[in-house]
Chain A
Amino acid sequence: DAGVIQSPRHEVTEMGQEVTLRCKPISGHNSLFWYRQTMMRGLELLIYFNNNVPIDDSGMPEDRFSAKMPNASFSTLKIQPSEPRDSAVYFCASSFRVDEQYFGPGTRLTVT
C-alpha cells in the first residue's frame, strides 16, 4: 500500500489567497484526521471524519477553515482567505481501528 498521500508537499502563498490541501487515505480505512503542527502549539487535531461524515470539528480554528470528504478516498482542507498565522505543517492521518493512526508526510504551508 502507498500509505496516506498528501499534496502538495509544500505550498507558498500570499496572504488572502485560497489554499487547498489534499489527502488520499489508505484504502479500507474508515476514519480520516486533519492535524496542524506548529512550534508554538504542537500537534493539534483540527477535524476528523468517520465513514466520510465529520464527527468532530471542534479543533477547526475559525470559519476560514473548512474540510470535506466527498468519498472514502479523498479529503480536502481549505483555508480561505489565508493568513500568515496559518503557516504550519498540516498532516492527514487515516485509521481503520481505534488503536492506530497512519500519518501522511504532511504539507508545509507558508503564507507570506
Chain B
Amino acid sequence: AQSVTQLDSQVPVFEEAPVELRCNYSSSVSVYLFWYVQYPNQGLQLLLKYLSGSTLVKGINGFEAEFNKSQTSFHLRKPSVHISDTAEYFCAVGGSNYKLTFGKGTLLTVNP
C-alpha cells in the first residue's frame, strides 16, 4: 500500500520569499512521485514528476523538487514566490499500475 503525508495544511508567505512544501511518502515498491497544483475552481495541473534518474526535478513556473529516498521525501521548493502562486498543492505517489495516491494538500497563500 502507498500513502502520502503533506506535513503542512497551510503555508502563508510573503511575495518574493522562498517556500518549501513538504511531502513524505511510504511505499513498498519503487514509486513515481508527483506534485500537482490546483487553482481555485479548477482541476489539478501537473507541476513536476520524478520517475527515475536525477533526484532534483524541475517543473513549470519555477518550481523544483528533490527526491530523497532515505528520508522518503519529495519536498517542493521555489526560491521566490509570486501572488499568482497562491493555490493548493498536492503531492502524489504512483506506481506502474496508473493509480495515484494523493496527499491532503497544502494551501499556499502568497501575501503582498
What residues make up the interface of A, taking CB atoms closer than 8 Å to B? Answer: 4, 31, 33, 42-43, 45, 48, 50, 55-56, 91, 93, 95, 98-106
Residue of B43, B94, B98, B103 touching A50 (CB-CB under 8 A): B98
Residues of B within 8 A of A91 (CB): 43-44
Docked pose: A56 CA to B97 CA in angstroms: 10
How many chain B residues touch the partner (CB < 8 A)? Answer: 23
Contacts A98-B32, A98-B94 given; does A103 touch B43 at CB 8 Å: yes
Q: Which residues of B are in contact with A by a Cβ distance under 8 Å?
A: 32, 36, 41-46, 49, 51, 90, 94-105
Could you say which of A43, A99, A104 contacts B94, with CB atoms under 8 Å apart? A99
- Give the contacting residue for A43; candidates B45, B46, B90, B97; CB below 8 A: B90
Q: How far is the CA of A103 from the CA of B36 in the complex (A)?
A: 10
B104 near A31 with CB under 8 A, answer no
CB-CB < 8 A to B97: which residues of A?
98
User: What's the Cα separation between A25 and B96 when bound, in Å?
Assistant: 21
In the complex, A98→B101 CA distance in Å? 13
**Cβ–Cβ < 8 Å partners of A4 in chain B:** 43
Which residue of A31, A102, A104, A105 contacts B98 across the interface (Cβ within 8 Å)? A31
**Further contacts, 15 of them, CB under 8 A, given A42-B102, A105-B42:** A43-B44, A43-B102, A43-B105, A45-B99, A50-B98, A55-B98, A91-B44, A93-B44, A99-B32, A100-B49, A101-B100, A102-B46, A103-B45, A106-B42, A106-B43
